[in-house]
A = this chain, B = another copy of it.
């Protein structure tokens, strides 16, 4: 009963809030988020240029996640990543975060090739931390859900800045 009432009210709110606005033929869409499910409470950069700027100016390391929305390995990692409160808290407080579904033109972000999921750390000095790697020799920046603790310890490594006097 409460549920039915709630649904009706939510529909009412949705209808009134879109009154007079453009609605696609295929129906109303949910606005896309920058998080893409990797942490709705984090403040995500939109582009690599923006993320580098924030990393430098706030002197925080940058985490870049390359993924694809229809890749099962990306989805599996995203689930444990977004539900790990320790990772989310450290990212929120000590990192700049960026997730991308397209490669950039900067080759430094693909030290051993372009694959997903792939997590690259960048120092505030704008140096890609190619030394911070995962568990797999053939895809050094890949992580599986079981590697989440390794990812956490790599985040601790990334927090020790190359040039802390910056």
Copies of this protein, total: 2
- The answer to whether the Cβ of A43 comes within 8 Å of any Cβ in the partner chain is yes
In this complex, the interface size class of chain A, counting residues with CB under 8 Å from chain B, is: 35 or more
Least Cβ–Cβ distance between A8 and chain B, in angstroms:
10
Chain B positions within 8 Å of A6 at CB level: 9, 13
Q: Which residues of A contact B (CB under 8 A)?
A: 2, 5-6, 9, 13, 21-24, 28-29, 31-35, 39-41, 43-44, 46-50, 53, 83, 85, 88-89, 92, 100-105
Q: List 5 A-B contacts (CB under 8 A).
A: A23-B41, A24-B92, A31-B33, A34-B46, A49-B104
Contact A100 B40 (CB under 8 A): no
Least Cβ–Cβ distance between A78 and chain B, in angstroms:
14
Chain B positions within 8 Å of A22 at CB level: 39, 41, 85, 88-89, 92
A32 in complex: contacting residue of B33, B49, B104, B105, CB < 8 Å: B33
Which 4 pairs between the two chains have the least Cβ-Cβ distance? Answer: A22-B88, A50-B102, A31-B33, A22-B85
Contact A31 B24 (CB under 8 A): no
Least Cβ–Cβ distance between A151 and chain B, in angstroms:
16
Q: Which B-chain residue is minimally distant from A6 (CB atoms)? A: B9
Least Cβ–Cβ distance between A63 and chain B, in angstroms:
15
